[in-house]
Amino acid sequence: RFRDVGVIFISALAMYLALEGGSDYEVQQRWEVELKPTLYANGRYPQEGEHVPKPIIDDLDGDGVNELLVATRDPKLKIYDPSHPVPGHHEPGEVVLLMKSETTLLSKARVR
């Protein structure tokens, strides 16, 4: 039937276009945050309840440039500035970000 041939043709065309555009990009930059394994209960890897949330990328200070907000296991919040990478000798493809700010999440109040 003519309608079935049309559906098969459109499906084949859609699959071709979907697979054709799959290799148009390549992600090269990556970032790492060094974790201290001694902060975990077993000393090697996080167990349930010890995972930190995913980083947040947002314009925190309203200057039009996104910052990277990272929660660490210490517990601290660190803000990195991706628009000003740290100069110097690094691994190929490695970008070291400048830390704009850091604060602790621990209370400064003491309970007696």
Q: How many domains does the chain have?
A: 1
DSSP labels, 44-75: SS--TT-PPPPPEEE-SSSSSS-EEEEE-SSS
Residue 13 lies in a domain: no
10 within domain boundaries? no
- For the segment 5-23, the average pLDDT, to the nearest whole number, is 84
> Is residue 50 a part of any domain in this protein?
yes
User: What does the pLDDT read at residue 1?
Assistant: 77
pLDDT (tens digit per residue) in 40-86: 788 777 788 777 888 889 998 888 888 999 888 778 899 988 887 78
pTM of the model: 0.56
Residue 100 placed within a domain: yes
Inside any domain, residue 2: no
Angle at 38 between CA 34 and CA 42, to 5 degrees: 120
| 62: containing domain | 30-104
Percent of residues, the chain, with pLDDT higher than 90: 12
Query: Would residue 18 count as lying in a domain?
Result: no
Torsion sign over Cα 33, 39, 42, 46: negative
Residue 59 amino acid letter: D
The answer to whether residue 12 is domain-embedded is no
Does 64 fall in a domain?
yes
